[in-house]
Amino acid sequence: CLRSSRRNAWGNQSYADLISQAIENSPEKRLTLAQIYEWMVKTVPYFRDKGDSNSSAGWKNSIRHNLSLHNKFLRVHNESTGKSSWWMLNPEGGKTGKAPRRRAVSMDNSSKLLKSRMRAKQTKKQAGAAGGGALQGDGNTGSAGADSPNSSQQFPKWGVNSSSPSSRGSLDDNDMWTSFRPRTSSNASTLSGRLSPIAPGQEDDDNLPDDSLLGRYTASSLTPTLTETLMEELDLIDGLTLMTGQQGGASPSTAPFSSFKPTAFSNSLFNPMSSPGSHASGHYSTHVPSSLEALLTSDSPPPSDVMMTQVDPLMPSPGGVGLMGLGSPVVGVRSKPNQLLLGKGLEPNKVAPMDPSQLSALKAQHAAVPAVGSHHGGPVASANPSVSLQGMSQFGAPSCFPTAQDRLPTDLDIDMFTENLDCDVDYIINSDLMDGDGIDFNFDPILPGSQSYTGPATTQGSTHSWVPS
DNA sequence: TCCCCTAAACATA
DNA sequence: TATGTTTAGGGGA
């Protein structure tokens, strides 16, 4: 529309559009602030001669402002680099700067809520003291921003493209997605040393990035489902060290994470390992969106889901841990449990494999139950939250609780899990979990209601069941 | 009224 | 100092 007349000195694109474009154009779909500046200077004629500190203060300030302001931008902690965070596009589509960034709800309310929250957080921070905002991002930076992963690729939805003259209108749809801002999550990275979706060191590696992204997105997609409440809760639960540990096993880098905050989400999201479809396809770009939406529309997995995603189906022990971790947060378990889990999770191999017969039985049942969430076959399926559930079930089922078997979800490759997880669970439950407050969650693999599990199969079932809400 | 730009105060690392 | 987050004010549609 306005194309003919420029809204801004550099054209009709808003800062948000330019930033989106910069990120999209980056190989990894993520850039640091400095890289964004650089892109601007190199790419946008107007800024070409404004790279110097003197003349750049204003527009750089605007860039930062836009990054923080818009949900469409996710901040991912970039520890590895030791520098500033990675900024990515929110797959979920945050909108471009619209006011209503987050919730579709009435703007007024939503905005107010947001602000109120923000303030609340701040207050806490301040109150807490100088130390810093505990609530927000990891303690680190606060804002959680990043939480989510983002890969730009998906945006097709939101049209992040700068091309659109004004991004304004469109995108609103995504409200759901954006509902929670990654912000908090930004620290997700905290998980491992490397938060960035892409391993810092590896940035070059194409592999991780993409997959990770996918995983993230996926996760993110899931997260949206979380109610704000959950989100908030999560935020509150700073201390949790979720566990991401899971991955740790998988990827060395990720393994330990000392602090993780609300970011838990982000972490999971970003975590390469988590990618659901993991690699199944070179690009998730297409997949993700659809799948995510589908997921969302159909059910939204609770935060737990996200957590779930972290678990790598392939990774036996980690998965178990991951599950535990998930449960804890939701439940309210504090960090402690998680940690414990982590430690214990490490020894997967010990577990005795399930009997073939049992497995077959499980599968049969599984088959009977419609798989909700899982689209893909084996591993991938496991990747889903559902997996986690399964994992849970597995835990219980196998050696510990024979009956549990019946309830196990089908999708998963139970085989994998069962083999690895059996004992651990038991062990964990008995020893560790008991410690946790939240342990209450229904962890019981054996829920009486046979169906309880069915759903599970998909993530949600499980999540819901134990997610406290 | 909404969206965006700009400026600036603050906070944090 | 760089990076982030918020808030506030102004202009255009």
> What pLDDT is recorded for position A430?
38
What is the distance in angstroms measured between the alpha-carbon CA of A184 and the sugar C1' of C4? 12
User: Which nucleotide in the DNA or RNA is closest to residue A76, CA to C1'?
Assistant: C4
Which helix or strand (DSSP H or E) is residue A89 part of? strand A86-89
Considering any atom of strand B, list protein residues whose CB lies within 7 Å. A 7-9, 13-16, 58-59, 61-62, 64-66, 96-100, 107, 125-126, 130-133, 139-142, 166-168
Domains of chain A and CATH, by start: 15-89 (1.10.10.10)
Query: Who among residues 268-327 of A has its Cβ near strand C, under 7 Å?
Result: none
Q: Report pLDDT digits (tens) over A100-130.
A: 333 333 333 333 334 333 444 444 444 333 3
Chain C: nucleotides below 7 Å from protein CB are 2-8, 13
What is the distance in angstroms measured between the alpha-carbon CA of A8 and the sugar C1' of B4? 10
| Nucleic strand C near CB of residue A65 (< 7 Å) | yes
Res A389 pLDDT > 70: no
Nearest 5°: phi and psi at A259?
A: -110, 145
Q: Which residues contact A275 (CB under 8 A, 6 or more apart)?
A: A211, A212, A213, A214, A215, A216, A218, A284, A309, A383
What is the distance in angstroms measured between the alpha-carbon CA of A191 and the sugar C1' of B5? 36
The Cα–Cα gap between A180 and A224 comes to 6
Pick from A93-97, A150-154, A177-181 the range whose average pLDDT is largest.
A93-97
Tokens standing for residue A9? 């000195």
User: Which nucleotide in the DNA or RNA is closest to residue A136, CA to C1'?
Assistant: C5
What is the distance in angstroms measured between the alpha-carbon CA of A58 and the sugar C1' of C7? 16
Query: Who among residues 73-102 of A has its Cβ near strand C, under 7 Å?
Result: 75, 78, 83-85, 87
What is the distance in angstroms measured between the alpha-carbon CA of A159 and the sugar C1' of C11? 26
Based on the number of CB atoms within 10 Å of its own CB, is A346 exposed (0-12), middle (13-18) or buried (19 or more)?
middle
Among A267, A102, A230, A235, CA closest to A172: A102
pLDDT band with cut points at 50, 70 and 90 for residue A81: low
Range with lowest mean pLDDT among A15-29, A55-69, A71-85, A391-405: A391-405
For the entire predicted model, the pTM comes to 0.40
pLDDT band with cut points at 50, 70 and 90 for residue A5: low
